[in-house]
């Protein structure tokens, strides 16, 4: 028997925290802090946290729309909710990155090239369009936010098919995911990542009873095989692990794990620019592996504090404002309580 809905929500929350922490540790130890060995190799695969996020979005966005009785006429409000929910901490992170970039060179001992950030480059971030105009993202992790936003644009349009019980439309959507991955091998468009997102979608369809267990296994098997062929074994393993955890895990609410889930988005936004600057400073004063390791651990602690502050003072108010945007439904179609409000990305 699958866990209850409340337990499953906690599994998503825990998985989000794990995904964000994996990416943070990957960037913290990317610079060869640890000696060669199993521990170092483990951290080098922390980037798979991105694929965990994609599977979570594939599951949680359709599920929240299904619970809210979403219809295509609500598309504008759906996008507005996403923008109000996600953009305030994102914009604060952009401001922090720009401030750091232009203040760091005046600090004695600065190492690296001076910044060159244009107004156009910054403005393109507002619409998650940097890659389409040949501009670099202000920090390396932001490319995934562009992928996520493209997913929101797509899933809001195809949701009636995603939530349908009819076989042919769902097969057509599956073929779209497979064709997109094969035809557009570009990591900065959503198409190449559709198999991973649709693993989460298959989990959603199974959860609400639109497909049975056998069809769920066949569908996810096809999608994971596609991810394996197009993106490699790490992508495929991450996708399979994520959907299994979402559907089967039954974690008890734990203060530490739940906290990481709470700050996961803020941590993802802010960790890389802060780690890079702190490690730049640390390289001037630390020598030898023990000192570098201790400094790196201290830098991670500082980043966690910054993520907590960003979450508390920016992200949570944004969540509250986004929750006020409601879909208008008929009296006989009143939406259920938004049980996923705290776990949406």
The single residue listed with the structure tokens 């001037």 is: 284
The radius of gyration of the chain from alpha carbons, rounded to an integer in Å, stands at 21
Please report which confidence band the pLDDT of residue 184 belongs to, taking 50, 70 and 90 as the band edges: low
Please report which confidence band the pLDDT of residue 34 belongs to, taking 50, 70 and 90 as the band edges: low
Tens digit of each residue's pLDDT (9 = 90 or more) over 45-64: 899 999 999 999 999 999 99
Please report which confidence band the pLDDT of residue 340 belongs to, taking 50, 70 and 90 as the band edges: very low
Query: What pLDDT sits at residue 330?
Result: 44
Residue 321: its H or E element: helix 316-323
CA distances from 340 to 11, 219, 242, 313 (A): 12, 24, 17, 21
**Which of 100-104, 129-133, 321-325, 337-341 comes out lowest in average pLDDT?**
337-341
Mean pLDDT value of segment 311-337: 77
Query: What pLDDT sits at residue 32?
Result: 59
Whether 311 contacts 263, CB under 8 Å:
yes
The residue ranking higher by pLDDT, 108 or 177, is: 177
Query: What pLDDT sits at residue 262?
Result: 95
Whether 179 contacts 223, CB under 8 Å:
no
Tens digit of each residue's pLDDT (9 = 90 or more) over 142-167: 999 999 999 999 999 999 999 999 88
Q: Mean pLDDT across the chain, nearest whole number?
A: 86
Query: What pLDDT sits at residue 252?
Result: 78
Mean pLDDT value of segment 319-332: 78
Mean pLDDT value of segment 168-178: 87
Mean pLDDT value of segment 30-51: 73
Q: Locate 253 and state its tokens.
A: 């609410």
339 has pLDDT over 50: no
Mean pLDDT value of segment 76-102: 96
Q: Whole-angstrom Cα distance, residue 181 to residue 202? A: 17
Whether 3 contacts 279, CB under 8 Å:
no
- Domain map (residue ranges) of the chain: 5-333
The residue ranking higher by pLDDT, 199 or 334, is: 199
Whether 336 contacts 287, CB under 8 Å:
no
């Amino acid at each position: 028997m699958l866990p209850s809905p409340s337990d499953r929500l906690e599994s998503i929350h825990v998985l989000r925290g794990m995904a964000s922490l994996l990416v943070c540790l990957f960037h913290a130890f990317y610079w060869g802090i640890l000696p060669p060995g199993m521990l170092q190799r483990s951290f080098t695969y922390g980037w798979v946290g991105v694929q965990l996020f994609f599977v979570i979005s594939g599951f949680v966005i359709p599920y929240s729309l299904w619970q809210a009785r979403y219809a295509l006429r609500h598309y504008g409000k759906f996008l507005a909710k996403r923008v109000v929910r996600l953009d305030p901490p994102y914009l604060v992170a952009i401001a922090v990155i720009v401030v750091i970039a232009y203040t760091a060179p005046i600090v004695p001992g600065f190492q690296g090239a001076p910044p060159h950030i244009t107004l156009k480059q910054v403005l393109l971030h507002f619409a998650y369009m940097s890659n389409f105009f040949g501009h670099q993202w202000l920090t390396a992790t932001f490319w995934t936010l562009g992928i996520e936003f493209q997913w929101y644009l797509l899933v809001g349009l195809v949701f009636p098919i995603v939530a349908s019980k009819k076989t042919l439309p769902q097969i057509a959507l599956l073929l779209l995911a497979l064709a997109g991955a094969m035809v557009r091998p570009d990591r900065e468009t959503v198409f190449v990542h559709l198999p991973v997102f649709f693993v989460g979608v298959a989990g959603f369809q199974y959860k609400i009873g639109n497909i049975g267990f056998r069809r769920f296994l066949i569908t996810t098997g096809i999608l994971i095989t596609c991810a394996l062929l197009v993106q490699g074994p790490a992508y495929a393993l991450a996708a399979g692990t994520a959907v299994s955890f979402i559907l089967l895990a039954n974690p008890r609410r734990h203060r530490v794990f739940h906290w990481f889930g709470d700050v996961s988005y803020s941590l993802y936004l802010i960790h890389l620019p802060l780690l890079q600057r702190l490690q730049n400073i640390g390289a001037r004063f630390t020598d030898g592996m023990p000192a570098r390791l201790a400094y790196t651990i201290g830098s991670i602690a500082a980043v966690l504090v910054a993520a907590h502050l960003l979450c508390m003072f920016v992200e949570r108010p944004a969540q509250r404002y986004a929750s006020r945007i409601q879909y208008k439904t008929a009296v006989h179609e009143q939406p259920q309580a938004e049980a996923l409000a705290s776990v949406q990305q």
